[in-house]
Structure 1
Amino acid sequence: MHVYKAHAYGNDFLYVHEDEVGARPLDALARELCDRHAGVGADGLIVYSGSREGGSMRLLNADGSRSEVSGNGVRGLAALLLRDDPQDRASIAIHTEAGVKRLDRVGRDGARQTFRAAMGLPAGLRRAAVTAAGEPLDLVVMAFGNPQCVALGPLPDEARFQRIGPALERHELFPERTNVEFAHVESPAEVRILIWERGVGPTLSSGTGSCAALIAAAAFAGASRDADVVAPGGRQRVEWREDSVYLTGWAEVVFDGVWRREPR
């Protein structure tokens, strides 16, 4: 089975064409491939196919659970599908379970390709007061293709992050679990975040999480609607426009290989 690996700011995904998957259960395949000791290692598995306008994808988290969309995962697939296209600028559409995401390649530097992606608009944006891990929290929640929960304020230390992140992911407010961002507005033009990703845990970056953090920070904490969002893995640009939220950042395909283990 042929496997590609790509990442955006350290948020890494494995890509397998749907024709190669066969009858393998996808949840078990994701857990096996994404294992960082006994497998290839990644935050998620994307099963994809190509089309005339771009491609389509199904995303599974490292724990085998399904996810609707990943901004970095979509961008990695665009980088894979366009890797042999010689043009500096190109456009592509990726079909996801959260709808079609349209990306424009705006630059390339070696293997790194930079895209501006139209990620859609938030739904159900609101504040919610909850208690998690014994601590009262004032959150911003929304659907942004996938469930998102943002805690605004100073970033937590490691112990608090490890305590509150999983408690929020599995809080009863979120029947399908949620992605969690801790977001601090450093200036109107910059928001710094930490990420606890549903089905994964801590990640270096998140595309949809960066968008959700900017939306929450702009709606309730004084950030600009056009700002940099800085995660541990690096800086992405997020623009909250009337027609869509746009996410700009890079992705690169780092290797491809053959998975030789037979299905268990």
Structure 2
Amino acid sequence: MSIPQHVVKAHGTGNDFVVYADPEGVYEPTAQEVRRLCDRHFGVGGDGLLRLAHPDDVSDLSDEQVSRLRSAGAEWMMDYRNADGSLAEMCGNGTRVTALFAQTMGYMEAPGGRPLKLGTRAGVKTLSSLGEVEGLGRNVFHIDMGPWKAGETHAYEVTIPGHEGSARGTFVDMGNPHVVAVLEDATGRGLAADSTLPAVSDLDLTRKPVVDPVIETDQNVEFVGIDAIDERAGTGRAHMRVNERGCGETLSCGTGLCATAITLRRITGVDEWTITVRGGVLVVKVSDDNVELTGDACIVGTVTLR
């Protein structure tokens, strides 16, 4: 088995992972091993697996990719696998969990110390440790998620098997693909007028949402309700649920939170959003060429595999 005997169970606002360090590059997992470990009945259980390794020891990266990560200052790489064993480009919650784990291993400085430049398949992400932040958690990290791209507003139709109705979705590229659909608007601005799906809380996301036109890479789909907007402060509040490719509904999705804030900014002009997911509360700030995510991470414990 190409998995170490001891692994860690951790989560970022409920988005949970099996985590381990591989500083020698000898524990690259197979897809079957990932599926077994992430199985919630027969394994440790998780939405995915996080392997902390040096970029040179991640076999699917090209020499050019490794060189780019190294030249950008990334000594460590978040090798992230979805629960079904597939490779993933990026995971916002996973970066915070990886940073907290790196901190416990002595690979990242304590809160207030030097930021960690973490390699991902979507490039280098810079994480700063903030420690305890009221309203967000005890082990809060700020992530510079870097640039983003978005397609035409409401260009996709989103439906859910078993539910009547549909909503319009907007494509956002956060290094991984997302389609964001706004289903509710409590502000009275009519920003969810195109949706005939049920309320966000009433959705059955055990069924994989259908996106039309089809996106060949598959995608995460976010379903959003707008709760409030303070135009004077330039802030808003929203809630969101997500179905992630490769693992189904999760309690949180960091890149999905960013995609949600990007979409909300486009239709409201508001740059900063406090977003509640089933696993907690996070803050996202969006500019024309960058997005920042702030939220908590937690290590649950260490597991000895047999």
**Counterpart among 165, 175, 178 of residue 148 in structure 1:** 178
Equivalent-residue separation in structure 2 for 1:131 and 1:53 (angstroms)? 37
Distance 1:207 1:23 in 2: 24
Q: How does 1:37-56 map to 2 (within 5 A)?
A: 37-49=41-53, 55-56=76-77
**Offset of residue 249 of structure 1:** 0.7
- Indicate how the Cα distance of structure 1 residues 149 and 21 shifts in structure 2: closer, same or farther if over 3 A, else same: farther
Match of 1:198 in 2: 245
Q: Which residue of 1 aligns with 2:228?
A: 187
1:130 aligns with 2:154: no
The SS at the match of 1:39 is coil
Cα distance in structure 2, aligned partners of 1:63 and 1:35: 9
Query: Higher Cα Rg: structure 1 or 2?
Result: 2
Residue of 58, 81, 105 corresponding to 2:129: 105
Measured in 2, the distance between the counterparts of 1:60 and 1:232 equals 22
Instruction: Give the secondary-structure state (helix, strand or coil) at the position aligned to 1:4.
Output: strand
How far has the Cα of 1:107 moved from its partner?
A: 1.7
Deviation at 1:22, TM superposition (A): 4.2
Q: Shift in Å at residue 63 of structure 1?
A: 1.3
Distance 1:39 1:160 in 2: 25
Q: Is contact 1:129-1:136 (8 Å) kept?
A: no
List per-residue Cα deviations over 1:146-168 (Å, max 9, x = no partner).
000101122335355445xx133
**Residue 174 of structure 1 is aligned with which of 200, 215, 230?**
215
SS at match of 2:210: helix
- 1:158 counterpart = 2:202: yes
Native 8 Å contact 1:240 1:246 kept in 2: yes
Instruction: List gaps (5 residues or longer) in structure 1.
Output: none
CA distance, structure 1, for counterparts of residue 76 and residue 240 of structure 2? 30
The code of the aligned residue for 1:168 comes to V
How far residue 186 of structure 1 moved from its aligned partner, in angstroms, is: 0.9
Report the CA distance between 1:55 and its aligned residue.
Answer: 1.5
Partner of 1:33: 37
Match for residue 13 of structure 2 among 9, 12, 22: 9
Equivalent residues of 1:183, 1:217 under 8 A apart? no
Question: Which residue in 1 is equivalent to 2:263?
Answer: 216
Distance 1:24 1:102 in 2: 25
Q: Give how far 1:74 is off.
A: 0.6
Note the residue ranges of structure 2 that are not aligned, 5 or more in a row.
56-72, 185-198, 230-235
Q: Structure 1 residues 159, 86: closer, same or farther in 2, change over 3 A?
A: closer
- The CA distance in 1 between the partners of 2:145 and 2:248, in whole Å, is 23
Shift of 1:112: 3.8
Q: Secondary structure at the match of 2:152?
A: strand
Q: 1:80 aligns with which of 93, 101, 106?
A: 101
Structure 2 counterpart of 1:229, which letter? I
Alignment RMSD (CA, Å): 2.4
Give, in whole Å, the separation in 2 of the partners of 1:237 and 1:212: 12
Q: 1:58 maps to which residue? A: 79
**Percent identical:** 31
Equivalent in the alignment of 1:249: 295
C-alpha distance in structure 1 between counterparts of 2:272 and 2:200, whole Å: 25
C-alpha separation between the residues in 2 aligned to 1:120 and 1:86? 22
* Deviation of 1:89 (Å): 1.2
